[in-house]
Structure 1
Amino acid sequence: MNQRRDDYDVVLIGRLGIDLYSDDFGKPLDKAARFVKYVGGTVTNTAIGCARYGMRAALITRVSTDPLGKFAKDYLRDNGVDVSYIKEDPDALMGLVFAAIFPGKDPDFIFYRPKGEVADLRITKDDIPISVINGTKVLVITGTGLSAEPSLGANLHAVDLAANAGKTILFNLDWRPSTWSGVPDEDRIKRYKAVLDKSSIVIGGVPEWLAATGESSIDAAIDSIRGKEKRILIVTRGGEGTTVFYHGNAINTEAFKVNVLKTLGAGDAFLAAFLYGYLYLLKSGWEVGDVLKFASAAAAIVVTRHSCSEAMPTYDEVMQFLRERGEQLHGNAKPRHLT
């Protein structure tokens, strides 16, 4: 049977912007003079990562009609992401991220996302095609998309459509404090809970879990998730590795030791690889622990590279990384769609 236009492995909704990363390593933003322009944004990086693994990914968002919007949309198209549902908005601006790179340390970065003007927060319910939600295996939603209207309503609408259609909903907590300025804590927690209650898979760092749930510890945050035994809950801890609560069982995976250039993009790479494992590797005889190693390897590769979007690895690159470190996988059959 021929694949319909709206048959996707993953449909993602949310942040598409421009990353400007310093090429003057070790210099703070007020001293750095040279920057490299990339396409960026959590779901954008994840979408590109999914496409690198041969998955069919589509992004629902908005872009400006200026050259930056064209650059972003063209880059996604050229890298295998379906841009059919990216609307060009003449009244919008692209969000910007400036980052200073300190090798081996966390970067300093500044978000420029003017409320009411940043393109990806201007999506509406009308931007969400029902056929696309019905035709995907996984819907990816982020916390940033809940931070302001009309994006909030659009995201909640998409979640309702996906839940009613029995789709897997993956919630990337993606908490950026600057994007939530002016929103009371109780409102933020209420918005997060509305999506948490309907999500099959949730991923975030410790601060994100605490912000999303209002709890004071990661254990309490995990315990607060209703029906947690039936969900996949992922806690990323940077260089300390990852803890995955997989249908009630806690699985710890160590981070690979590499020469870190910057930490940005690691979570996005992990998520793309995990999605690939969830949809394909487990069906090819891999075990859950192997999938987590694969995802951790993808994250390790990205932190050694300057960009986030361009740094997303392929299946062969991840497998080569694992072989070079002598990692033994219980299941290493190459998925059928890659053979």
Structure 2
Amino acid sequence: MKTKDLEKQKVVCYGEVLWDIFPTKTKPGGAPMNVAYHLQKFGVESHMISRVGNDEAGKKLLNLLNDWNIPTSSCQIDEAHETGKVEAIAGANDEMTYVIHESAAWDYIATDPAYDELVADADAFVFGSLVNRNETSRDTLYRLLEKASYKVFDINLRAPFYSVETIEYLLEKCNLLKLNKAELELIITWFWDQTGTEEESVRFIQKEFKIDEVIVTKGSEGATYYTLSESYSYPAFKVTVKDTVGSGDSFLAAFLAKKVQNETPEMGMIYATALGAFVASHEGACPSYNMAQLMDFQLQRQSIL
């Protein structure tokens, strides 16, 4: 990962931008865009490579990105496909299920030589698995992975839009893997014929795919960050959950922001846990807030841990 002492840190996020449609309202979403939004809140220069339709929904997303000071020059406009939409449905224990509309504009992100330089110059490049469901966006991602110096795989498995072969390829490319407990339990069955503890499973994945860093988020059980030789665990903050949409994305953004700003892993975990809880206590993935509000929230929750 690059470090820039005298310049603002830069992170490029790649993949889906869309609208999450809730029973009562519609919110902006897409895991990579959620990460970009929160990175910008932490003072990181964030860029979004994606594609929207030439429709009202797409124009609103581009306007939002501009409002958030996220450049839209890398967001393509598609004349043939609509802006992405996801229907979010609340289930048991406040967990959300998703109906992800297919053949969306973000499925057709085309290659552009300008992206090569943007990604090569960034401190980190964030991507997920969902954008690989269409070969056009997948091919563009694979090209950019060869340009990036520090690759962050926010796995975000969304059935049926992944394959073992694609996940295996992406695991081999990443430097930092972020996944939740259920995803860890699933993917370990693909590659390991044994049953182990969380740490044993993580260590196997690190060795098998040569991954230096892994983050496992565990909802109310907190989260753990693994390097090759150490692990850092932090408990979850207790909140009244509105929904869990984007909570993991915000966790990653806060951790990554602190990492590219050369803060300690402990500091990264504290901020990540706080922001994940803050987002879960609000509706939607990108609630309005500033750092002072997040600090107040963090101090209040730490006092009752």
Match of 1:89 in 2: 78
Post-superposition shift, 1:300?
0.5
Q: Does residue 1:12 correspond to 2:13, yes or no? A: yes
Q: Does residue 1:321 correspond to 2:303, yes or no? A: no
How many equivalent pairs are there?
293
Post-superposition shift, 1:280?
1.4
Post-superposition shift, 1:236?
0.9
Instruction: Write the distance in 2 (CA, Å) between the matches of 1:99 and 1:303.
Output: 14
Match of 1:262 in 2: 243
Q: Deviations over 1:3-29 (max 9, x none)?
A: 9xxx8610010011101123xxxxxxx
State which drifts further: 239-248 or 78-87: 239-248
Match of 2:252 in 1: 271
State which drifts further: 130-139 or 218-227: 218-227
Post-superposition shift, 1:278?
0.4
Instruction: Write the distance in 2 (CA, Å) between the matches of 1:57 and 1:8.
Output: 8
TM-score (norm 1): 0.79
Instruction: Write the distance in 1 (CA, Å) between the matches of 2:228 and 2:206.
Output: 12
Match of 2:286 in 1: 309
Whether the 8 Å contact between 1:228 and 1:247 is mirrored in structure 2 is: no
Match of 2:107 in 1: 121
Whether the 8 Å contact between 1:124 and 1:150 is mirrored in structure 2 is: yes
Q: Does residue 1:291 correspond to 2:273, yes or no? A: no
Consecutive unaligned residues of structure 1, counting only runs of 5 or more, are: 23-34, 181-187, 328-339
Specify whether residues 229 and 144 from structure 1 end up closer, same or farther in structure 2 by C-alpha distance, changes over 3 A only.
Answer: closer
Task: Work out which of the residue numbers 158, 168, 177 in structure 2 matches 1:193.
Answer: 168
- 2:109 partner SS: coil
Instruction: Write the distance in 1 (CA, Å) between the matches of 2:300 and 2:18.
Output: 34
**Aligned positions of 1:51-200 closer than 5 A:** 51-101=40-90, 105-114=93-102, 117-126=103-112, 129-162=115-148, 167-180=149-162, 188-200=163-175
Post-superposition shift, 1:202?
0.7
Specify whether residues 326 and 244 from structure 1 end up closer, same or farther in structure 2 by C-alpha distance, changes over 3 A only.
Answer: closer
- 1:136 partner SS: coil
Instruction: Write the distance in 2 (CA, Å) between the matches of 1:220 and 1:246.
Output: 13
What is the identity percentage for the equivalent residue pairs of Structure 1 and Structure 2? 22
Q: Deviations over 1:244-279 (max 9, x none)?
A: 112321222111111111112110110110011101
Post-superposition shift, 1:101?
4.4
Post-superposition shift, 1:128?
6.1
- 1:175 partner SS: coil
Specify whether residues 94 and 208 from structure 1 end up closer, same or farther in structure 2 by C-alpha distance, changes over 3 A only.
Answer: farther
Instruction: Write the distance in 2 (CA, Å) between the matches of 1:68 and 1:139.
Output: 26
Q: CA RMSD in A?
A: 2.5
Match of 1:26 in 2: none
Q: Does residue 1:202 correspond to 2:177, yes or no? A: yes
Instruction: Write the distance in 1 (CA, Å) between the matches of 2:205 and 2:265.
Output: 24
